[in-house]
Amino acid sequence: MQKISTIEKILGYSFQDEKLLKQALIHPSKISKNKESLFERLEFLGDRVLGLLVAHMIYEKFPDKNEGKLSELQAFLTSRKTCTDVCIEAELDKFIEFRQEDFKSSSNQSIYANAIESILGAMFLDGGLDPCKYFITKFWEPYLNNIPETNPKGALQELTAKKGWDNPTYILKEQSGPPHNPVFTVEAIVKDKKTEATGTSRKTAEQKAAQMLCEILTS
């Protein structure tokens, strides 16, 4: 099929089992109720493959960064937005099958991100880590040259979203000191984990607490 060969050219990999690739491209919304969809199972696997290979890529690329900084980078590179951008940039979005009338445009973008992970899951099952590494290096590594300013709160929220947890909560525990030099103490909470930090502004304290919590949750 020309469609399959076009996709394989984008991926830089030829499937031994083309059925795996076809299944990775069909969202459950396009599958009738009496048929099985492997999309979400492949997405589950691909998410782990992406996380592992991105972690290895940034570990090698940035030998001077600590765990917290690496976690921020990984959260950015594996975020829904980055995965969606990669899907569109690689022009894989045009091959994903789903019922467009069932989704708004913002939901479509989530499907694009999920599909990238589903494709990676299929690639891993068919050929192991090497083809996945090639594809990720080709399309994700350029983002390392355009890393946005670090945002621990954003990284923490992305991390909790990927794990299916509730959004982080920030509680102002105390405000002390004179008006011209205040000190804010803030507690960040995710599930049963808590961190506490201080700063000269509430925002600074929240960012510090979020960074600490990111490090705990990724350790």
Instruction: Give the residue numbers annotated as catalytic, written as ranges.
Output: 47, 117
The amino acid present at 89, given as its one-letter code, is E
Beta strands in 64-210 (DSSP E): 169-176, 183-190, 193-199
Q: Residue 164's CB: how many other CB atoms inside 10 A?
A: 6
Q: Report residue 179 as tokens.
A: 């008006």
Contact (Cβ atoms closer than 8 angstroms) between residue 171 and residue 158: no
Q: How far apart are the first and last CA of the chain?
A: 45
Nearest Cα to Cα of residue 89 among 8, 24, 10: 10
Scan for tokens 């510090």, then name that residue: 208
Contact (Cβ atoms closer than 8 angstroms) between residue 186 and residue 209: yes
- Residue 144 DSSP class: G
Phi, psi of 177 (to 5 degrees): 85, 170
Scan for tokens 């099952």, then name that residue: 125
